[in-house]
């Protein structure tokens, strides 16, 4: 038969065919005597193409009974040139004599320049659909987006697979060049024939790559200059298949609305996005820093007594840098070249190992997506995918993690400023102590004079001085704590004599003011530097994960989330012990805690996605995980030197230990529980967060809240002092809301189609809600670290005999982190205090003979 379309020019059209075959039977035949189903084969030839119509070519077909069959198809054809372009041939054969009914119809294809169109997929026309569109030649064009949306009335659980390929693709180029009809099965097979390897592909192999993804409700595909296939002008073919993984099931008819949209100025958008993620958090944190300054300025105004000026001491306020900051910075730079195995150095080492191993794994996944063109491998938010002008990377996800770098830099700077203040305060204190014990301020201090100073405090002649006796005489305990190396709260004559020998490093027999200053040791804030490094490391880990988000790679996103929770848990601990003990604790943490967690997460991830199916091996793995958990929680004291915590603290610790063991046991013995928690990596992350919240809350109470006096001025002053917590809570709440508004699903049971269905458009600029989760959570983490640093400095000051604003003077003779109650307040009359104004607004201006300085 011949079909002619010479009445008007149609470059491409849709060809509809129907075929009904009914076997001829003798009189009296009925279906009960049917011996075999009728078999019918059909093919259509247009131009030089021969398209076979059967299930393998995604044709719709059904047996009415054993002697009747019905087949229908929808073909997308390109009109060729010349007389042969008006001729269409169909061949049919059956395994028995049959009566055939054939129908052929044509419909003009949608305008290839149209930006909005609809495609019919499934139903009587078969499970495939094609559309031809044109990308204009435009040097300013950066991206081309193809959006899909299935109207509500057609959402019937169909899974659609969409493929986009350029006219140069060998899978379609011959039909586009010479005319003919696309063979859906042949086109699909061609796109799947690209060899998957990491050798340099051939140019011909790259041309075969078709960008593809699956969805059931909505999705979007973004073609960029760096994608495969890359964005270029010319004709493109959109190819959609329905229920690809159910070849023998009928696909219900559905309609897909398609929108094509160009994108310009991508480079400028990325620069603006980078500015938002760098200057946005910095501006918020700067505003909080200013708010902190104003809060203390207000407190000092309220706290002024009898017109006396107050010491303007802001524990963690970042003022303008001075010479002391430059001097400290030089020391820090020198220490970088002499690293010790403590938390900051070990974390830097772990970051290097992470980039050399985990990053390679993620890059492999990303490379697999690039080489196959399948957007089902990496679970992006395709509706807010912002590639670069060179590389097809999710730059919006990358740039949003810059906020963690800003948070890390802010925490490190704030820690540095606090350390400078505290160190210079101690040096000033040691200078004042030197003046107290030295009868000749112009000269040095001999050992005989040193012993005489001890006897001056030892009023009862017992040869031992208590911390309270020292505090009563000097109104501070800094020098006492410096000399009392065994921290037993008592100072013997031998310890006092040994202190002289310890400070007399040149063995001259004379101590000078410079010797005192050199011997002073400031507050140990190394744990906060480690926290700052973990924030930066989280930015790196999150970037690696978002290069190709998936269940397999999610473990790398949590690699540094878990250390963040762990280090925030121990940040308020006093690490001022010997370097050897600190080093051992840090090494034990990395060897016995963090490294096993990373290994467990790595192996557990493969069980989460059912890669391993050996049951007995899984139970061996489960037993090892539970055994390690028991050893870790019961042997925690062997890792960290924990202080006395009292009976209530002991019960709390036991409850946390039981909770951790119970959750791990339940999660690994019942895999559905683990998958419900989000997988192995998420399980350990959630446990780390729970432990952090409980422990840090108790530490805040023990080191700060228990010293509050329930007076209006004290409570009000504490509220003003920690007013930035309101910002922290607000930002944290907002960040959790952004996190809960999922823009992609990355769970063991989620399919790529389900993830694409919940993709959301960009919220602002090039960023989606998950990107703003990075933005807000980084700010919240920085503010939380600021709170802990504030409490740490105040706790150090309180233990050193420095009075805190709106607190009563404290008896420091028995200061332990126990549950026996708060340290007893002394009954000194506050009117005896005499403060002096500090012109430079820093701790080093404090004078011991002015009794107590206020923070």
pLDDT digits (tens, 9 = 90+) for 130-145: 999 999 999 899 999 9
Query: Where, residue-wise, is CATH 1.10.238.10 in the chain?
Result: 445-511
Query: Which structure tokens are listed for 532?
Result: 């700052």
Cβ contact 588:635 at 8 Å: no
Cβ contact 233:138 at 8 Å: yes
Alpha helices (H) in 438-511, listed in sequence order: 447-457, 467-474, 478-483, 493-503
CA distance 489 to 467: 5
Q: What angle do CA 839, 844, 850 make, to 5 degrees?
A: 80
Contacts of 613 (CB under 8 A, 6+ apart): none
Angle between helix axes 561-570 and 769-799 (nearest 10 degrees) is: 20
CA distance 160 to 240: 7
Contacts of 813 (CB under 8 A, 6+ apart): 466, 467, 468, 471, 489
Instruction: Please name which of 408, 404, 418 lies closest in space to residue 532, comparing C-alpha atoms.
Output: 408
Q: What angle do CA 597, 600, 605 make, to 5 degrees?
A: 125
Q: What pLDDT, on a 0 to 100 scale, did the predictor assign at position 75?
A: 85
CA distance 211 to 482: 68
CA distance 606 to 623: 17
Alpha helices (H) in 373-401, listed in sequence order: 395-400
Name the DSSP letter for residue 231: P
Q: What pLDDT, on a 0 to 100 scale, did the predictor assign at position 852?
A: 33
CA distance 448 to 451: 5
Length in residues, the chain: 855
CA distance 749 to 379: 13
Cβ contact 209:192 at 8 Å: no
Q: What angle do CA 831, 835, 810 make, to 5 degrees?
A: 60
Helix, strand or coil for residue 630? helix
Helix, strand or coil for residue 20? strand
Q: What pLDDT, on a 0 to 100 scale, did the predictor assign at position 616?
A: 84
Cβ contact 378:550 at 8 Å: yes
> What is the enclosing helix (H) or strand (E) of 106?
strand 98-108
CATH of domain 445-511: 1.10.238.10
Q: What pLDDT, on a 0 to 100 scale, did the predictor assign at position 133?
A: 92
Give the residue ranges of the chain where pLDDT is below 50.
1-9, 305-312, 578-580, 810-855
Q: What pLDDT, on a 0 to 100 scale, did the predictor assign at position 305?
A: 46
Contacts of 96 (CB under 8 A, 6+ apart): 23, 24, 38
Cβ contact 430:512 at 8 Å: no
Q: What pLDDT, on a 0 to 100 scale, did the predictor assign at position 712?
A: 79
What does pTM read for this prediction?
A: 0.82
């Amino acid at each position: 038969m011949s079909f002619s379309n010479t009445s008007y020019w149609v470059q491409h059209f849709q060809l509809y065919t129907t075929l009904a075959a009914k076997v001829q039977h003798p009189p009296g035949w009925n279906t009960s005597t049917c011996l075999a189903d009728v078999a019918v084969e059909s093919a259509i030839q247009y131009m030089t193409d021969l398209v076979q119509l059967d299930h393998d070519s995604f044709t719709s077909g059904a047996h009415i009974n054993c002697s009747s069959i019905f087949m229908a198809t929808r073909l997308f054809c390109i009109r060729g040139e010349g007389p042969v372009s008006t001729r269409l041939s169909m061949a049919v054969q059956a395994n028995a004599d049959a009566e055939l009914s054939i129908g052929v119809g044509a419909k003009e294809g949608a305008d290839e320049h149209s930006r909005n169109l609809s495609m019919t997929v499934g139903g009587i026309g078969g499970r495939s659909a094609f559309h031809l569109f044109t990308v204009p030649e435009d040097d300013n064009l950066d991206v081309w987006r193809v959006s899909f949306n299935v109207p509500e009335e057609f959402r019937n659980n169909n899974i659609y697979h969409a493929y986009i390929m350029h006219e140069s693709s060998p899978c379609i180029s011959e039909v586009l060049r010479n005319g003919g009809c696309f063979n859906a099965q042949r086109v699909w097979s061609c796109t799947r024939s690209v060899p998957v390897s990491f050798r340099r592909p051939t140019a011909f192999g790259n041309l075969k790559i078709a960008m593809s993804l699956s969805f059931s409700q909505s999705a979007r595909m973004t073609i960029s200059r760096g994608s495969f296939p890359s964005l270029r002008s010319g004709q493109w073919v959109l190819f959609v298949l329905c229920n690809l993984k159910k070849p023998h099931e009928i696909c219900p008819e559905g309609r897909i609305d398609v929108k094509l949209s160009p994108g310009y100025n991508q480079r400028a958008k990325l620069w603006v996005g980078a500015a938002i993620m760098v200057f946005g958090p910095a501006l918020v944190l700067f505003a909080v820093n200013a708010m902190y300054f104003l809060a203390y300025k207000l407190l000092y105004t309220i706290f002024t007594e009898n017109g006396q000026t107050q010491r303007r001491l802001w524990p963690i306020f970042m003022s303008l840098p001075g010479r002391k900051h430059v001097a400290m910075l030089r020391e820090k730079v020198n220490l970088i070249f002499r690293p010790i195995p403590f938390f900051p150095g070990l974390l830097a080492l772990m970051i290097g190992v992470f980039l050399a191993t985990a990053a390679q794994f993620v890059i492999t996944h990303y490379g697999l997506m690039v080489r196959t063109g399948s957007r089902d491998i990496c679970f992006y938010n395709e509706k807010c995918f912002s590639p670069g002008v060179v590389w097809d990377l999710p730059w919006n996800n990358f740039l949003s993690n810059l906020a963690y770098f800003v948070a890390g830099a802010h925490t490190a700077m704030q820690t540095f400023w606090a350390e400078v203040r505290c160190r210079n305060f101690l040096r000033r204190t040691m200078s004042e102590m030197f003046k107290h014990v030295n009868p000749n301020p112009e000269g040095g201090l001999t050992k005989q004079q040193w012993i005489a100073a001890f006897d001056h405090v030892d009023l009862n002649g017992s040869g031992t001085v208590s911390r309270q006796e020292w505090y009563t005489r000097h109104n501070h305990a800094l020098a006492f704590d410096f000399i009392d190396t065994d921290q037993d709260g008592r100072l013997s004559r031998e310890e006092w004599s040994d202190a002289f020998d310890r400070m007399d490093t040149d063995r001259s027999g004379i101590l000078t003011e410079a010797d005192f200053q050199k011997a002073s040791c400031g507050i140990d804030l190394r744990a906060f530097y480690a926290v700052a490094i973990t924030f930066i490391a989280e930015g790196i880990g999150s970037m690696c994960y978002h290069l190709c988000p998936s269940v397999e790679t999610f473990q790398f996103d949590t690699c540094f989330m878990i250390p963040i929770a762990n280090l925030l848990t121990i940040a308020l601990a006093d690490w001022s012990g010997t370097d050897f003990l600190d080093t051992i604790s840090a090494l034990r943490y990395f060897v016995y805690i963090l490294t096993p967690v990373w290994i467990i997460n790595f192996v557990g991830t493969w069980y989460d996605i059912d890669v391993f199916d050996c049951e007995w091996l899984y139970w061996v793995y489960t037993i090892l995980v539970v055994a390690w958990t028991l050893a870790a929680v019961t042997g925690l004291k062997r890792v960290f030197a924990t202080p006395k915590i009292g009976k209530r603290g002991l019960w709390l610790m036991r409850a946390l230990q039981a909770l951790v063991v119970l959750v791990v046991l339940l999660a690994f013995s019942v895999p559905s529980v683990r998958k419900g928690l989000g997988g192995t990596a998420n399980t350990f992350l959630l446990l780390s967060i729970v432990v952090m919240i409980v422990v840090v809350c108790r530490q805040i109470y023990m080191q700060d809240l228990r010293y509050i006096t329930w007076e209006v001025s004290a409570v009000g002053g504490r509220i003003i002092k920690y007013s930035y917590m309101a910002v922290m809570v607000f930002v944290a709440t907002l960040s959790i809301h952004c996190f809960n508004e999922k823009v992609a699903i990355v769970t063991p049971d989620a399919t790529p189609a389900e993830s694409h269905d919940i993709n959301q458009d960009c919220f602002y600029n090039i960023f989606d809600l998950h990107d703003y989760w990075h933005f807000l959570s980084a700010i919240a983490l920085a503010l939380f670290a600021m709170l802990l640093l504030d409490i740490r400095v105040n706790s150090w000051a309180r233990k050193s005999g420095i009075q805190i604003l709106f607190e009563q003077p404290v008896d420091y003779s028995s200061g332990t982190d126990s549950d026996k109650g708060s340290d007893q307040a002394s009954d000194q009359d506050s009117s005896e205090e005499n403060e002096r104004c500090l012109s430079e607004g820093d701790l080093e201006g404090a004078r011991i003979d002015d009794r107590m300085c206020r923070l």
